[in-house]
Amino acid sequence: MAKVKLSKAKTAIIIIAAIVFALLVAGGIYCVATDQSPATAIEAATAHQDKLVGKWQSQKSPGLSAYVFYDDGTYDSYLSTVNFSGEYTVKGNKITLTNPNTNAQVVYKYKVKGKVLKLTLMEDDKEAETNAYDSVDELQMKTLADLIGDSIKDNNTTTQEQ
Q: What digits encode the pLDDT tens for the residues 106-135?
A: 999 999 999 999 999 998 877 788 999 999
* Spatial CA neighbour of 117 closest among 156, 79, 154, 65: 65
Residue 66 makes CB contacts below 8 A (sequence gap 6+) with 55, 56, 57, 58, 77, 78, 133, 139, 141
Written as one string, the DSSP assignment of 114-153 is TTEEEEEEEETTEEEEEEEEEEESS-----HHHHHHHHHH
Residues 54/67, Cβ–Cβ less than 8 Å: no
Q: Which CATH architecture has domain 49-148?
A: Beta Barrel (2.40)
What distance in Å separates the CA atoms of residue 33 and residue 63, rounded to the nearest whole number? 42
Mean pLDDT within 22-49: 66
What distance in Å separates the CA atoms of residue 118 and residue 110, rounded to the nearest whole number? 6
Q: What are phi and psi of 118, to 5 degrees?
A: -110, 125
Q: Count CB-CB contacts under 10 A for residue 88.
A: 21
Query: What percentage of the chain exceeds 70 in pLDDT?
Result: 78
Total residue count of the chain as it appears in this document = 162
Measured at the alpha carbon of residue 105, what is the angle toward residues 103 and 109, in degrees to the nearest 5? 160
How confident is residue 4, by pLDDT bands cut at 50, 70 and 90? Answer: low
How confident is residue 34, by pLDDT bands cut at 50, 70 and 90? Answer: low
How confident is residue 21, by pLDDT bands cut at 50, 70 and 90? Answer: confident
Rg of the chain in Å (alpha carbons): 24
pLDDT at 57 over 70: yes
pLDDT at 70 over 90: yes
Mean pLDDT within 56-77: 92
pTM: 0.62
Name the residue with higher pLDDT: 150 or 18: 18
Q: What is the pLDDT of residue 71?
A: 92
Q: What is the pLDDT of residue 32?
A: 72
